[in-house]
Amino acid sequence: MSIRFGTASLIKTTARLLSRGQNKMSATLSRPPTPLRDLPTQPEDERFIDKGAACEWAEEYRPGRFHPLHFGDTLGSGRYRVIRKLGYGSYSTVWLAVNAKAPPKYVAVKVLLAKYSLPARPCPEIDIARTLATFTDTGSRHILKLLDTFQQEGPNGVHTCLVYEPMAGTVASLVTTFPGNFPVPGQVFDYRPARYEKWMGKRILKHTLLGLQFLHQNNVVHSDLQPGNLLFSPHHLDDVPEADLTQSTTDETTVSLQRKDGKEDKWGPRYLALPQSLHKYANLEQDMCIKISDLGAAFLKGNPPNKIVTPVALRSPEVILGRPVDEKIDIWSFGCLVFELMTGTRLFPVDDLGSQEEVDDDHFLALHDVLGELPEDIAAGWTRRNLWFGPAGERLNPYAPKPSVETGSKHDDEVNGGHEVGNQDSRHSGIPADLELPSEEYIITPSPPLEQLFDENKPDTIDEDEARVITTLLRRVLRYNPADRPSAADLLAEEWFRDA
């Protein structure tokens, strides 16, 4: 009797365990709910295990956003076979693919977020690129050419895809690969500027001007001119065997993607691919060719978008102030690039940290120090100018600590340019009542003027005479009034560019 009871008990226990296992397996294998279109704001709402991969955020793979891709997948009704990840951005991923209808054998396919493929969200980049692709002017060879466009359907929606000629790397990224431009082993703080040889820097600038001239002649304003959007052409890439360009899942350039609940996810890829540049194939010889890329922020002259996306340190005064803009914002950015490519340092070291008002303060101060006093119309648009300059134009320091009644002294008054900024009522000083002041004095050192700044940062290959030629050119370009700035064609006529 006891034996029969024990056997029955064992059978029941086993059944319960099997049932639990089946329930657990069923929970794992059951279809997960469709992710929300909005990105999660809390870690507990994220679907995937975060492995810290240096690529796009895994949570971006959801309806309306990124299209999941794997090596070997095809796009464009089977025409383009993906073999390598080239890059990613806020609005797209970019892949190297084999073109079934070569030439060219290889192409770069830019896959946009699905939400930018909706009828309500047209893609101006396509319209502008298609128009420019019909021209064969000399300058057109310095604009990245659009080869094809198509729509790709996937689990996250319909994606607009743009097909371009593949490029070998950006001016921003390739500079670090040159000897002497990367940190010395063992030296944690190595502040040597990374810059190109002078001849190469001039060539980059001249090709950029040729591209700008072409854009502006066709009434296109780029508005996002920066080293990251200037690309080196590859050297005979079509001659490279496919095996040499193919990225593999067996190396360390992919990271497996796993859901926290262990379920399969149809909206994301099985793995994340780390971008692999084509730097080693860049043409860095005398016949090198630079192309301007990324027309995503471009617009037709007279029809600017609501927001200009020029990198913060390359903004012209009219962009900072939100005033009407035209192609001269590209000329201003170009002037900043001249200084950066010749010296390896930024002309205006402004970062988009802090509030917009603080960023703009830093930018206006840099303009004042490097280029000279701001004209009245620009100064009037700077809403917080009275924090930094007194009624007679004297420099103030609003971040000086407030001296107490006991410790206030004549020295405190002198430090603040004769104005007791830290000690007066904010209602009379113009300083916001909620402005947080540091406990210790924050020393603000004005930047030297343009000519001195250039001399302090230029390489030995630029002598004093050439330095004056370059700074004179910069003074001509970096005019506060857009109408006073030269055109790209005017700059190409400059003697300094003729041998570039």
Strand partners of residue 111:
93, 161
Cβ atoms 280, 199 nearer than 8 A = no
Tokens of 264: 């399969």
Fill in the amino acid letter for 140: S
Cα–chain center distance at 230: 12
Residue 452 CA to residue 439 CA, distance in Å, equals 33
Is 226 within 8 Å of 311 (Cβ atoms)?
Answer: yes
Round to whole Å and give the CA distance between 90 and 113: 9
Q: List the one residue out of 482, 459, 194 whose CA is nearest residue 335.
A: 482
Sort 285 into a burial class: Cβ within 10 Å, 0-12 / 13-18 / 19+. exposed
**Residue 215 one-letter amino acid:** L
Cis ω on the peptide bond leading into residue 103 (within 30° of 0)?
yes
Residues 160 and 308: beta-carbon distance below 8 Å: no
The CA-CA-CA angle for residues 323, 172, 136, to 5°, reads 75
Q: Please give the Cα distance from 32 to 26 (Å, whole number).
A: 11
Structure tokens that stand for 348 in this block: 């205006």
Handedness of CA 464, 469, 473, 475 (dihedral sign): positive
For 197, which DSSP code?
-
Supply the angle between the helices 356-371 and 450-457 in degrees, to the nearest 10.
90
**428 contact partners, CB below 8 Å, separation of at least 6:** none
For residue 266, say whether it is annotated as part of any ligand binding site. Answer: no
How far is Cα 78 from Cα 100, in angstroms, rounded to an integer?
A: 8
Q: Please give the distance of CA 384 from its chain centroid, rounded to a whole number.
A: 28
Cα–Cα dist 246/159, whole Å: 24
* Pair 419, 398: CB distance under 8 Å: no
Classify the phi-psi angles of 404: left when phi > 0, otherwise alpha if psi is within -120 to 50, otherwise beta.
beta
In the three-class reduction of DSSP (H, G, I as helix; E, B as strand; rest coil), residue 206 is classed as: helix
* Residues making up the binding site: 110
* Residues making up the binding site for ATP: 110
